[in-house]
Chains A and B, each alone.
Chain A
Amino acid sequence: MATFPEYIAQNEERDGVRFSWNVWPSSRLEATRMVVPVAALFTPLRERPDLPPIQYEPVLCSRATCRAVLNPLCQVDYRAKLWACNFCYQRNQFPPSYAGISEVNQPAELLPQFSTIEYVVQRGPQMPLVFLYVVDTCMEDEDLQALKESLQMSLSLLPPTALVGLITFGRMVQVHELGCEGISKSYVFRGTKDLNAKQLQEMLGLTKPSATQARGPQTAPQPLSNRFLQPVQKIDMNLTDLLGELQRDPWPVTQGKRPLRSLGVAMSIAVGLLECTFPNTGARIMTFIGGPATQGPGMVVGDELKIPIRSWHDLEKDNAKFMKKATKHYESLANRASTNGHIIDIYACALDQTGLLEMKCCANYTGGYMVMADSFNTSLFKQTFQRVFTKEVQGSFKMAFAATLEVKTSREIKVSGAIGPCVSLSAKGPCVSENEIGTGGTCQWKICGLDPTTTLALYFEVVNQHNAPIPQGGRGAIQFVTQYQHSSGQRRIRVTTTARNWADAQTQIQSIAASFDQEAAAILMARLAVYRAETEEGPDVLRWLDRQLIRLFMFHLRRSPFLQVFNNSPDESSYYRHQFNRQDLTQALIMIQPVLYAYSFNGPPEPVLLDSSSILPDRILLMDTFFQILIYHGETVAQWRKAGYQEMPEYENFRHLLQAPVDDAQELLHTRFPMPRYIDTEHGGSQARFLLSKVNPSQTHNNMYAWGQESGAPILTDDVSLQVFMDHLKKLAVSSAA
């Protein structure tokens, strides 16, 4: 058997699953002593180019409470054409189509290498993809122009049959009717009045679909489209023109005021429109906002510029008078959207906050994207947006829609909950634990939008009693059944069945310890911490965390924007947490503990400690924090660069040195979603603060003279260094142990 690291990598590769423990303690008591629960990071749609979808439907266990899918772990009696469910031990007859089954003629789902397998459901209509653009028009012309271009570009990326819709808003909200000849029509709504789906339906004249169909024979073959959501192929030109003619919100904004932005109502209308036209169909509401909502339901700040938008300080003082109401508004929208399987993306591009704090659940509940940038006229936005429409080899989008994830477990283990971009479907069942962690109390979750990297943290509870030992060699199994709408319009089911050995903690503690996946555990715990930070009061979370597990990693986690709000706006915190909650393990690790590479004449690029001692004058540093990619030129290098040595042929090597981190950064930039902020700075540059705030302050203005100045750069901070932190921890650990 391979080493655990290899095993882990292989499992991740094949099934997209990483457990905190790869050998499970066999009783509840032991499991609780382990501090880190049995949990998994699961990436439902991990890219598997080698996994061709199967063109038939899965065979299900016939027990009504089980309905597990036939998998390689099942025992099969080829003679009797029977199979035993490995979860409930029910014996099931194979369906007639499996008549030819034999040991040498096994269906794919029984082959061990297909522990993850994907079925295509043939039933039901092919659903078109729906993209509803919700566009803010209260922004500078330059920004708006950039946004318009991006949107127009996106049309060319959509599959021709996809339905698109356009809602624009400013002081009013406009729902644009598409495909009108000779005149462009839109329905306009007051930005201060929320409407329920029924009212909206009436006001948009969508109550009588038959009437609208009868309007023209051409719409007959596409009964699913309506005046507001039409196939791209049909209204491509029209919509392009429409976008082209979009004007900045014409209502005058007097000095000292913010423009009136009816974001809350616009989103409500978008949700309502899809709700009454395409329930339970994959759809993306893509919201582009250039500032905070300033009127109507969902407003986060008034239009008086002299009153700034809430800060953490205000929140603590309970001074953010719109926050609660707005949050409630967006939460209800998020719930409505997720109920119908619709995704809400938020692209917020403004220098100030836009209210992501209040709106975060829209993206978090629905698996939507949240993107934050300074302006729509930045490559950050443009490329990120373009990347949303990335296609796989077969030419369909990497995104998937309206998924449900169901977890089935062996009897000894139950599922406590999930943390990630999902909502509970409140499906009770035998495998639901009473002990809730994250979104719990259910074995099914809805993930309205997901892509190949969307990762959920699932927490389990070993329920086996200490006095009922599991027979030697017993394995605990977990099956993940993900039903989703593929971007080709097909309904698909991906089934991942995985199993781990049980071990008695008393006798086999070493093997359990050896199976510990430090990285997975760290992320799992971090997610839990963030979840708690979101739902509970701040300082308690840190204390809780300190009590749980202590490692170097946690040092950075404590300092990360996920738990620390100092120096971050509420919006930024929400944004960081959002990303952290959906990215896979590798990315999440980077987010917590940024990666630092050093480039110098002394040798090839090398990773270096995230420590102030790594900051040297003759080095170029490349830091990747996931959100930022920063190139930092040491003092000497910066001087050289300023002197222009790189231009001189005789210093070509210097030019190469300068170029190397840039090339590497580009590579990172190209693979990352969302696009990181790219920063090129140097010693003493103002943007160097991003680096300085991340590194371990082993040298500060307090101690630099004690350390001498052989290396590194002092950080002006009162934060404790890792050294101090560790010393303190050790002391605590010892004292607590005692």
Chain B
Amino acid sequence: MSQQGYVAAPPYSQAQPGMGGYQGGFGTGPAQPLYGHYGGPPQAFSAPPTGMMKSPVSSAVGMPPPPVSSQYNPNVQQNGAHPQRYPAPPAASAAYGQPLQAPYNSMGSAAPPPAQQLTNQMGAMNLGNYASGPMQSPPPPPTNSVAQQPFQISPPPAMGQPQMPPGLQSPHMSPQMSPPQSPPATMPMAGPPMAGSQMAGPPMAGSQMAGPPMAGSQMAGPPMAGMGRPFPGPPPGPGGFQQLGPGAAGPPGYPQQGGQFGGQMAGPQTGMPGAFPGAPGGLAGPPQKKLDPDSIPSTTQVIEDDQVKHGGQVYSTNVRGQVPPLVTTDFTVQDQGNASPRFMRCTTYSLPCTADLAKQCQVPLATIIKPFATLPKNETPLYVVNHGETGPIRCNRCKAYMCPYMQFIDGGRRFQCGFCNCVNEVPVFYFQHLDHMGRRVDLYERPELSLGSYEFIATMEYCKNNKRPNPPAYIFMIDVSYNNIKSGLVRLICDELKTLLENLPREEGAESSAIKVGFVTYNKILHFYNVKSALAQPQMMVVSDTAEMFVPLLDGFLVNYQESRAVISNLLDQIPDMFADTNESETVFAPVIQAGVEAFKAAECSGKLFIFHSSMPTAEAPGKLKNRDDKKLVNTEKEKTLFQPQKGVYEQLSKDCVAQGCCVDLFLFPSQYVDLATMADVPSHTGGSVYKYNNFQVETDGEHFLRELRKDVQKNIGFDAIMRVRTSTGFRATDFFGAIHMNNTTDIEMAAVDCEKALTVELKHDDTLSEETGALMQCALLYTTINGERRLRIHNLSLNCSLQLSELYKSCETDSLINFFAKSAYRAILNQPLKNVKEILVNQTAHMLACYRKNCASPSAASQLILPDAMKVFPVYMNSLMKTAPLVGSTELSTDDRAHQRLSVMGMGVEDTQLLLYPRLIPLHNTDVSSEAPPAPLRCSEERLTDSGMFLLENGHSMFLWLGQASPPDLIQNILNLPSLAHLQGHMCALPELDNPLSKKIRSIITGLLEKRPNSMKLQIVRQKDKPELLFRQFLVEDKGLHGGASYMDFLCYVHREIRQLLT
């Protein structure tokens, strides 16, 4: 029955959602074990069945069921079937749902069965569940779990090929069953199943219905149902259809969403509001069928599942090509020969052996390297290896550094390089005998032979001009023009510096920091300060010749804070008063950076500039800028010019900075357009960061700014860095994204690299890779420590290689993929119209998934959307990416903000992009005060909000506290100390400290988040339906974009359609 229903209905195979969603509830062990547990059966089952199943389906759709799929079958799960099965009992479904998910999860994540076919039909059941209860998944009763297991097994096949079901396996059936349970997570097939859900809770249903379009699209393929062609499904499950009917009609609220994709997919459905450039204008009309939003793959669920599986566990890096836990998961790394995923993450841990394969799948091969990533306290810091005066031992040919991949031969007298296979002599002092395994006896005594990450002491040859570097310096450059004085910023900074400077980063165990500090203030001229400890009072030296900047003093400019504390404190006291009555509003900018570079040059050191700047530099000087913001350019061919920095002065300046190891951190306090694209050009090439505080006010933004400043100053950081990524033969690093500068094609230069900065390295084939030897990478970073020591930091990583695409898809890492896509897209918009870039993104997404479907998934109905397990939430990220400010062509967005986001993403690591593209939405109103952990995040969609609720949303850059209209007064009282919401006014930017458990708990949650994130976030409190709520809403990434862009559901439908087109 169900199967048929599915088949007919179509199906979006979204088994995963279900799986992911519930894991949390289970909280069962790690994936692998589970896998083993479940795995046995599933694989067995799935493989054959799915394949089988698929083929029929696919054929129907028009897709040829590839034989290959059999292999993957296990992974594949077709949810479509499930929903129907379970439709009936909502309550039950809820129960089941959880349990089911668990199994799925295990399957999905742990087990290879990466692919999941989601059927929309699942929806109905799920809906019911959801309607009745929140997302959360209560722990499933044992029975359920049992039930699930079977399902799991079957699911894949079952789902995929409803038709076959009976014959094939009961398991299939069960899977089908399961879907309903899993619904929340899974992509519900709007059509049939929906009905149930709708029934259950009309209002809710509506929302959930949103999904329908999906169904529609899927449906489109097979039958042409009235309402929907999309709903061809009707035949299969009567119930389902019925539901559909109402759903379609009912959910007025969601018409758009449904419409958008519907249009694309089915045509008849609502039109696409043009969210996708490529998409045809949808039919605005019938907002009919809704898919259950809970049924489409859920990021929160995936995260939760992974946390359950790996959370708190030790992850050993001893296995080549091992896929690490998600970035969101809390785990401990034990370095056993490969670099910790904190340092290096790859888009896939199994490279295709040939360039053809790579081209075929279009999955980008890249690694994201965060060389200075912070290690948690319980992980061992990197060991420092000293190879003496001759410097680190390297391969003579390719210059790779000694690492675990060097093979010692000839009784230990020689070693063969793992990268280029060159055989090198072992230096006498380094000789060691080999044991019976051919390993050096001292293997475990030498970090460079047994670990993935370690450091070498660099010798003189690695120093500039063969001179030991001086300790780096921090120069604080404060714009003292009218704006900054008036806003009170200058005083704020000066006050803060006094304490902040006590906490400069210092070497482990050092009594005080070796970093020197210097101070400059400026408006259209620069003031340098001599703060030599011997002086009774500071000396100010003014340089007005901004045309040819120079540093007026040497001695006394850069000083040790501890020694000059009195003078510095004196200076910081005076600065705000000195300029208190200034009326100078013009500023310079390029000369300020130039001054910093010159200062470092004179002092022969590297370092960082902290520039606190207010306005566009309009004073007559090099680097003078003029307003070139033009909203008319948005959505035109020339839009790219808004992102392009102005050439000339700043370009050269970047080079100078990098050559000197001068990193620039820019804190901007603009009240209007400042041409950020140009101003941030230097920071973005020197490993710097740009912080922006629009219309800065001390009361509302002060604390936020200070937190950020503190983090920035105290960051762990290395200077004057040069990095090289070496690879074993067959492939190499070809492209680099990050806050870097490159003079040639291989050397990555960074004026500084801190613990937040990551660069993304794209890998390309040179030749064929061998499955046997795999692929090796060595990232070597030469840098100057905060003590002024020259060091080499080495990260090694070994990957698998495979001739099977399935292996690749299995080993994919969605978060890394999206990081790569974000960076490459953000770079592309410099040269191409947004429209093209977005088209490319969608096409590539579709292509990657289609390739999977074609080569790896078990045969199934074409109408089914089948996603690789490891990439099942990829679409939501991709959709979110396309809705980010830089990629949304909207005149309502500030050009500066768009440029800012574009640039900040370029230096981001995987954690940051993940969070940015899928913010955490945490319900706070029913927080369990007694529990340690914060409440589980919800999916980022308006539907998850409740009028009486209170939610916290954060994406690493912004943080909102959202208060529903109907928030109970006692909640308001407890948290905000206000009698009612109506009393909330102005810009409250911090919660009052109240002595009640809830307040404490919530504040501790917020504080915890602030500490955890690289950036500080300003807490914005918004009331439902208030104007500021719009700001908040743009972060609900599953919804339709505020400034354009599709909802998740619509996007999925659209992608599905594209996939199908590709497959035909």
Contact = CB atoms under 8 A, between A and B. Distances in A.
A659 to B, nearest CB: 47
Given A183-B539, A184-B537, A184-B539, A202 B544 contact: yes
B619 to A, nearest CB: 11
A251 B544 CA distance: 20
B542 A185 contact: yes
Nearest to B555: A250
Interface string A342-377: 000000000000000000000000000000000000
Nearest to A186: B541
A183 B554 contact: no
9 contacts: A182-B537, A183-B539, A183-B570, A184-B540, A185-B527, A187-B541, A188-B528, A204-B544, A245-B535
Contacts of A202: 544
When A and B form their complex, which 5 residue pairs have the shortest distance between CB atoms, in order from nearest? A188-B552, A203-B544, A250-B555, A185-B540, A187-B542
A148 to B, nearest CB: 16
A188 B543 CA distance: 5
B110 to A, nearest CB: 64
A636 B62 CA distance: 132
Contacts of B544: 187, 189, 202-205
A184 B571 CA distance: 11
Contact of B570 (A182, A195, A205): A182
B982 interface: no
A184 B567 CA distance: 12
Interface string B539-581: 1111111001010111110000000000000110010001001
Contact of B537 (A177, A183, A203, A250): A183
A56 B556 CA distance: 57
B539 A190 contact: no
B140 interface: no
A63 interface: no
Nearest to A204: B544
Interface in B504-545: 525, 527-528, 535-545
Contacts of A203: 525, 544-545
A193 B545 contact: yes
A190 B556 contact: no
Nearest to B539: A184
B552 A172 contact: yes
Interface string A198-236: 000011110000010001000000000000000000000
A113 interface: no
Nearest to A191: B550
A666 interface: no
Nearest to B554: A250
Contacts of B570: 182-183
Contacts of A185: 527, 539-542
A205 B586 CA distance: 14
Contacts of A454: none
Interface of A: 172, 174, 177, 180, 182-190, 193, 195, 202-205, 211, 215, 241, 245, 247, 250-252
A251 B602 CA distance: 9
Nearest to B528: A188
B542 A188 contact: yes
Contacts of B554: 250-252
Contacts of A177: 542
B545 A186 contact: no
Contacts of B552: 172, 174, 188
A183 B521 CA distance: 14
Interface of B: 525, 527-528, 535-545, 548, 550, 552-556, 570-571, 574, 578, 581, 583
Contacts of B540: 180, 183-186
A386 to B, nearest CB: 28
A725 B838 CA distance: 103
Contacts of A183: 537-540, 570-571, 574, 578
Contacts of B541: 174, 185-188
B543 A187 contact: yes
A250 B550 contact: no
Contacts of A184: 537-540
Nearest to B570: A182
A178 B541 CA distance: 13
A587 to B, nearest CB: 44
Nearest to B553: A250
A219 to B, nearest CB: 14
Nearest to A245: B535
B566 to A, nearest CB: 13
A189 B553 CA distance: 11
Contacts of B543: 187-189
B522 to A, nearest CB: 13
Nearest to B535: A245
Given A172-B552, A187-B544, A241-B536, 5 more contacts: A174-B552, A183-B574, A184-B539, A185-B539, A188-B528
A250 B603 CA distance: 12
A190 B544 CA distance: 10
Contacts of A172: 550, 552-553
Contacts of A250: 553-556
A177 B539 CA distance: 11
- Most A Cβ at <10 Å: residue of B525, B541, B542, B578: B542
Nearest to B543: A188
A235 to B, nearest CB: 15
Contacts of A251: 554
Nearest to B584: A205
Contacts of A215: 581
B525 A186 contact: no
Contact of A182 (B550, B556, B574): B574
A247 B536 CA distance: 14
A246 B457 CA distance: 42
A364 to B, nearest CB: 31
B545 A190 contact: yes
Contacts of B525: 203, 205
A326 to B, nearest CB: 22
- Most A Cβ at <10 Å: residue of B528, B536, B552, B571: B552
Contacts of B581: 215
Contacts of B538: 183-184
B527 to A, nearest CB: 8
B705 to A, nearest CB: 26
A186 B548 contact: no
Contacts of B536: 241, 245
B600 to A, nearest CB: 15
A523 to B, nearest CB: 48
B335 to A, nearest CB: 45
Nearest to A175: B542
Contacts of B535: 245
A269 to B, nearest CB: 11
Nearest to A188: B552
Nearest to A185: B540
Contacts of A182: 537, 570, 574
Contact of A190 (B527, B548, B553): B548
- Most B Cβ at <10 Å: residue of A182, A188, A252: A188
A184 B553 CA distance: 14
Nearest to B532: A247
A185 B574 CA distance: 12
A93 B239 CA distance: 131
A144 to B, nearest CB: 15
Contacts of B583: 211
A172 B602 CA distance: 14
Contacts of A186: 539-542
B716 to A, nearest CB: 32
A186 B548 CA distance: 18
A189 B543 CA distance: 6
A204 B548 CA distance: 16
B1033 to A, nearest CB: 49
A220 to B, nearest CB: 16
B467 to A, nearest CB: 14
A16 to B, nearest CB: 47
Contacts of A190: 545, 548, 550
A252 B536 CA distance: 24
